[in-house]
Each structure stands twice: as C-alpha cells, then as structure tokens.
Structure 1
Amino acid sequence: MNAEAAIRTARGGLGQYGFDKDAPIELVKYRENYVFRLTSETGDGYAIRLHRAGYRTDAEITTELAYLHALAEQGLGVSQPVATLNGDFMCVVVSEDGTVFQLDVLRWVEGGEPLGDITEAMSGESSLDPGAFRRLGVLTAELHRRTSFIGRGAAFHRQAWDAEGLVGVSAQWGNPLALQDLGQEDAALLEAAVEKLRHDLAPLSKSADRYGVIHADLTPENVLVGDDGKMVLIDFDDFGEGWHLFDLATILFFFQPHPLYENYREALLEGYGSVRPFPDGFLQSWELMLLARGLTYLGWAASRRGDEAAEYIVERVVPMVLGLAENYTSKSFTSAAP
C-alpha cells in the first residue's frame, strides 16, 4: 500500500475521533507503521498511526495505549493517546482492497525536536551536552518507577524482552545470524556470542527493582525535547516487559563511538540513580545489554535488506557489534544476585 492509499484508509477512521474526514493530513514517517500528522479545525496537531496489518494484536495495542494514558495522567512526559467518541483508544479501518488495519490517535508534541540523530551519534558529530543525558536518566527512572507501580495485570498483553525475546529461537526482532554478508569467522563469533548470551541472560534476576515494563526502543529519535527543555518519550510500539538496564543500554548504544561516551554514560547513570538507587550488581550486566541490543538490530536488518535503515546497520552497526561480541566472548560473566 502506497502513502496515498494509506491516507485514504486512515481517513476512514477520523470520524470515530470527531475529526473532519477531509482534515489536512501529511505523512511523517513510515517504518513499521504509517504515521501522519493531522491538523484539526482548531489548529491542534495529532499523530495518526495506521498500524501494519497483522503486526500487533488489538490487545497489544490497547495495552500500549492504556499504559500511555495512565502515565500521562500521572504527569510523565509521554505521548498522550486520544479516545474515540465511544471512549476507546483504538479503532479498525478497512482499506480499498479489504485489508483490516488498526488505527489510533496521539496528541502531537508541539515544538518538540528529537534529542539526537543516530548517524551523528555514531560519527561523533553529536553536540549533545552530558546534562541532556542526566535529564534523560531522571525521566527513564521515573518511567520505570511509575510502570512498576502500575504493574502488569491480566489485561497486560505485550512481548517480553527477556533472554528468549532478545536472543532466543524466536527473538522479537529476528535472528541476527540470518544476516547475509557475514564472513565465516564473523558468523562463528556471533553464533558463540548468542549462545553465551542465552546462558548468561537466563539466570538474571527479574525482581521488581531490576525488571518490569520498559520502553524498549529509547533511541535519540524517540526522545523529543521542547522549547522549554522538557523531554517527552514517544514511539512505545515495542514497549513490553524487560530489564530496566536494557532501556539504559539502548539510550547509549549508538553513542558508543562518540568521544564523550563515558561522560554521557556517567551522566545518564547519575540521573537515573538519583531517582531509583541501583540494587547490588545492577550494572554488572551492562555489556550483556549492549550486545543484546546490538544483536536485535542485526536481526531486524536481516529481514529488511534493501531498507535504508537496514543497510546502515549492515555498514556501520555490524562492525561495532562484532567488537562487542569479541570482547564479551573473551570474558567470564557473573550474574547479579537474585
């Protein structure tokens, strides 16, 4: 389905939210979902998400939106979902060829700009101040504190970023070993790293001070910064349960080549720890989480060859992951206490 057909499909659900079906809509992003910006008659902006057919169940999307609503109600800087006229956070629409899509609406973050850019992070050109990472550490800790309070009840339907979800046979983002263009030695190194990770991640503690509901995709593009400096977390499409440290590792993953990486890491952990003190052994798993994060990107790219983002991963991220794998497989690991 091309962008024009996607817009026509999305318009089919606007009435359920009280919007004019002819309201101005523009394509903002397409990756897993189509994301459009709608401008209402009052001039307010909204993000319209048309989900990829079959990618998420209704229950999974409803869980995401209910969580976002609860977090926003508590004053946390997150995307704010908009309910339909019937009070639901999601509706279904049908495309011209009869395909059923899920659609939801979020309030647009006015004036918000991404915290950073992956390519600038990787190239070392990012001019971010460590103070930005301290503030992000505070916000991430607040997220984890509040999601721990909300908990995971019977209505929680999301994936787990645990050992199986990260590097298991049915890993959430695919098999990193399926990536083409790996040489024999590199493939063998990754295979050994994956096996070791499965062994080392499995016994990691899942106590509430280490594991819970996480964002799972806290890249610099998914953190918006307003004119007032306030940060807002967006794109919870991959949120689920997992280790809190995985969120922190994701924040810094692409900044590893940056000359200020250690300063950024120190600031991030300082900010996080000021809200949620680290339990004993919490940071022992840092290298595991960095490598696990990197392997998920390789798995994602393996099934999307030809995509611009996938090719960037093959060119720039694969060498970094190989370096992490070589360092990791040469060491022994002691898991944090349960």
Structure 2
Amino acid sequence: MAGAHHQDFIDRLTKGVESVKHHWGIDSGARVRLLTLSENATFIVEASDHKPSIILRVHRLDYHSHDEILSELDWIGALRKESQINIPEPLPLKDNSYIASFDDEGQTRYVVAFEFMAGKEPSENDSLSDGFELLGKISAELHNHASQWKLPTSFQRKSWTFQTSFGDKPLWGDWREAIDLNADDQDILETLCQTLKVKLDEYGTQEDRFGLIHADLRLSNLLMEQDTLSVIDFDDCGFSWFMYDFAAAISFYETSPQVPALTEAWLKGYRSVRLLEQQHEDMIPTFILFRRLLLTAWIASHSETETAIEAGLGDYTKGTVALAQQYLKGDYLRASFLEERRL
C-alpha cells in the first residue's frame, strides 16, 4: 500500500466514498471525513439532518475477496443475535445487500458500513488490568460461539497458521525483510521460527484449541464506554489458535512491564466463562512470539503506515530479536508469571 498517506490517495478514496454513500440512503449533504488509515481506510459520515453517524470502511486491494468480506459480516451478525458482546451492526444498502464498490484507477474497492459506536480506545498508559479481565471474558465468549456456530456453506476466511504466516507465501510478508535486520539477528529469528514450528506442530489444531477467532483484539480495536467494552474491526478474523487472541491483544507493547499482570487478568476473565486447561495457558508465550514475528514482517511490508512508524520500524525489529532471545532461553513470561502460577 505504498503511498497510502499521500493526499491524492486520500482524496481518491474520499471521492469514492462520496460516490457510493447514497446506496445507504445517506443524503448528499452529509459530511464524509477520514477517521483512520492503516491498511483499510475508515471514514465517518456525519449526516446533516442529525441522524446517527455511520462508519464506512474502504477495503485495501488484493486481500479479502467479496465472499470473505460477506463471511466476516455473517459472523458479526450471528454474534449480535446469539451473544451479549457489544459489536457494531453491519448496515445494509438500500437493496439489502451489504457491499458497495467503486473504481479506483481501474481496480475495484469494496466498501461496507457499520453503525457508529461511542467509546474511547484504551491507552497503554492506563491501568489496563480491569479491562483485560473483561477482554478475557469477551474472548472466551467469542471462542464459545465459534465452537458452537455452524458455519454457512459459503463461509470463507483466511487462516493464521505457521504456514500462512511464515511459509512460502506469508500473508503479511516475509520477516526476513525486516527493517535493520543483520545477519546475527536473522540467525536468532531463524532459530525462533523453527522453534515456533516445532511447538505449534506438537500443540496441534484440535477443536478445543483452534477455530474461528477475531485475531486482532489490540487496543485500537476496542472501545471503552464507562464499564462497557465494545469490540470492533473483525477484518482479520479467521481460523487460528484461541490463545492467539491474547497475543494479538498486546500487539506492539509485548515488552511492557504490565504484560504479566495483563496475562493474569485476561486468564481470570477467560476462565470465568470457558474451561482452560494448563496446556493452553502454557502456550501463551509461544503465541506472543508468533504474533511478534508476524508483526515484524507486517511492519517491513507496510513501513509507510502510521502504525509501523509509531511501532519504531527498525527498533521494533531489534525488540523482536531481544524478545526471541529471552523466549529461547525460557525467560520470557515463564519465570515471572507462568512458573509462579504453579507454586
């Protein structure tokens, strides 16, 4: 998505949103304003007649197919009907379909709409333990639903496995292209990569540990409103290990001193809803490193994005190497948290 932050790119997407907003019955005078831009572009539409605001998401190119986007909306719809989780409602077009599109320099961009949800993104600087206990509860509710829900026959979503993350055609790019990665660092990460493969192969993909998950429950996809926690942006939802959802929740601050306490809080909330055997808890450090290596690849292939820049680019790579060394020595989380829980 090179050049994604160039004004002409933003102007093109804004014009495209303007061209399709009438499909949702949005009046021509409604203001369209860019809200966030990472891989997808999210716009807020503020109606001129005091109607509730609407969120329009413009999908990036060459990632999700039309059917994959519909499948995301299918799961959200089922969760809204069959769970108590606060999730924004997908909004149908006037013809009762859910996906609009516009031409962007000869390529088709898909657009979907959601109700606007009030709330504030939690901050890493806040005390997050109470929120993570609630997030653990919500994660368990998501996993319970995924374990019981009968997938529609047309359901299609990507999988987040070792092969799709680090194999020949990794979804987010090759970590070996990481920014400022030298030969010594690469050797360490090669060892990490092979260790992850062995551990994940041994752990397996049985139904009690692997299924449909949100896959991106990081702070930017959560909204706090008083004591209510809402979950947004299911764009990366797919099939992976349930414990990966915790690893995604601490994305970009895996080295924070809060992590052991947040792990404890998340597990407490999770266990209040869903049985969790010790073998699954023991895999949490492995999934944190899995996610960290995956994000290291993502930053390398999306270095122009604000998210990648805020993460530190080459500094994030060096941090990944340091975490890998701790993990390979058995020091990351295990000594400070998991071992103590057994005493």
Q: SS in structure 2 opposite 1:2?
A: helix
Letter in 2 for 1:277: L
CA deviation after TM superposition for structure 1 residue 91, in Å = 1.8
Corresponding residue number in structure 2 for 1:19 = 26
Aligned: 1:33 with 2:40: yes
Distance in 1 (alpha carbons) for counterparts of 2:251 and 2:60: 27
Distance in 2 (alpha carbons) for counterparts of 1:79 and 1:24: 21
Distance in 1 (alpha carbons) for counterparts of 2:45 and 2:162: 39
Corresponding residue number in structure 2 for 1:294 = 292
In 2, are the aligned partners of 1:167 and 1:292 still within 8 Å (CA)?
no
Task: After the TM superposition, list the runs of 4 or more consecutive aligned residues in structure 1 that deviate by more than 4 angstroms.
Answer: none
CA deviation after TM superposition for structure 1 residue 102, in Å = 0.5
Match 1:85 to one of 80, 86, 94: 94
Match 2:61 to one of 53, 57, 65: 53
Aligned: 1:109 with 2:107: no
CA deviation after TM superposition for structure 1 residue 88, in Å = 1.3
Letter in 2 for 1:281: Q
Instruction: Return closer, same or farther for 1:159/1:102 CA change in 2, 3 Å cut-off.
Output: same
Alignment of 1:112-123 (within 5 A): 112-116=119-123, 121=124
Distance in 1 (alpha carbons) for counterparts of 2:173 and 2:128: 34
Letter in 2 for 1:319: K
Corresponding residue number in structure 2 for 1:7 = 14
Q: SS in structure 2 opposite 1:203?
A: helix
Q: SS in structure 2 opposite 1:160?
A: coil
Instruction: Return closer, same or farther for 1:150/1:330 CA change in 2, 3 Å cut-off.
Output: same
Q: Deviations over 1:79-104 (max 9, x none)?
A: 22001112112122224x34321111
Distance in 1 (alpha carbons) for counterparts of 2:202 and 2:98: 37
Instruction: Return closer, same or farther for 1:150/1:293 CA change in 2, 3 Å cut-off.
Output: same
**Superposition RMSD on alpha carbons, in Å?**
2.0
Distance in 2 (alpha carbons) for counterparts of 1:253 and 1:151: 30
Give TM-score scaled by structure 1 length. Answer: 0.89
In 2, are the aligned partners of 1:12 and 1:21 still within 8 Å (CA)?
no
Letter in 2 for 1:58: H
CA deviation after TM superposition for structure 1 residue 3, in Å = 1.8
Corresponding residue number in structure 1 for 2:3 = none
Letter in 2 for 1:7: T
Instruction: Return closer, same or farther for 1:51/1:256 CA change in 2, 3 Å cut-off.
Output: closer
Instruction: Return closer, same or farther for 1:29/1:129 CA change in 2, 3 Å cut-off.
Output: closer
Corresponding residue number in structure 2 for 1:246 = 244
Letter in 2 for 1:60: E
Corresponding residue number in structure 2 for 1:213 = 212
Distance in 2 (alpha carbons) for counterparts of 1:55 and 1:100: 12
Q: SS in structure 1 opposite 2:249?
A: helix
Q: Deviations over 1:210-234 (max 9, x none)?
A: 11111111111111111x3211111
Q: SS in structure 1 opposite 2:143?
A: helix
CA deviation after TM superposition for structure 1 residue 19, in Å = 1.4
Distance in 2 (alpha carbons) for counterparts of 1:196 and 1:169: 17
CA deviation after TM superposition for structure 1 residue 324, in Å = 2.6
Distance in 1 (alpha carbons) for counterparts of 2:15 and 2:29: 10
Letter in 2 for 1:82: L
- Which consecutive unaligned segments of at least 5 residues does structure 1 have? 332-338
Q: SS in structure 2 opposite 1:231?
A: strand
In 2, are the aligned partners of 1:147 and 1:212 still within 8 Å (CA)?
yes
In 2, are the aligned partners of 1:209 and 1:279 still within 8 Å (CA)?
no
Distance in 2 (alpha carbons) for counterparts of 1:151 and 1:184: 47
Corresponding residue number in structure 2 for 1:278 = 276
Q: SS in structure 2 opposite 1:265?
A: helix
Corresponding residue number in structure 2 for 1:161 = 160
Letter in 1 for 2:70: T
Distance in 2 (alpha carbons) for counterparts of 1:196 and 1:146: 31
Q: SS in structure 2 opposite 1:20?
A: coil
Corresponding residue number in structure 1 for 2:258 = 260
- Which consecutive unaligned segments of at least 5 residues does structure 2 have? 1-7, 331-343
What is the total number of aligned residue pairs between the two structures? 321
| Higher mean C-alpha displacement, 215-224 vs 5-14 | 5-14
Distance in 2 (alpha carbons) for counterparts of 1:304 and 1:297: 10
In 1, are the aligned partners of 2:140 and 2:273 still within 8 Å (CA)?
yes
Q: SS in structure 2 opposite 1:106?
A: strand
Distance in 2 (alpha carbons) for counterparts of 1:211 and 1:289: 13
In 2, are the aligned partners of 1:167 and 1:198 still within 8 Å (CA)?
no
Q: SS in structure 2 opposite 1:103?
A: strand
Distance in 2 (alpha carbons) for counterparts of 1:233 and 1:69: 13
Q: Deviations over 1:36-78 (max 9, x none)?
A: 0012334301110111232211011111111111112233212
Distance in 2 (alpha carbons) for counterparts of 1:129 and 1:239: 23
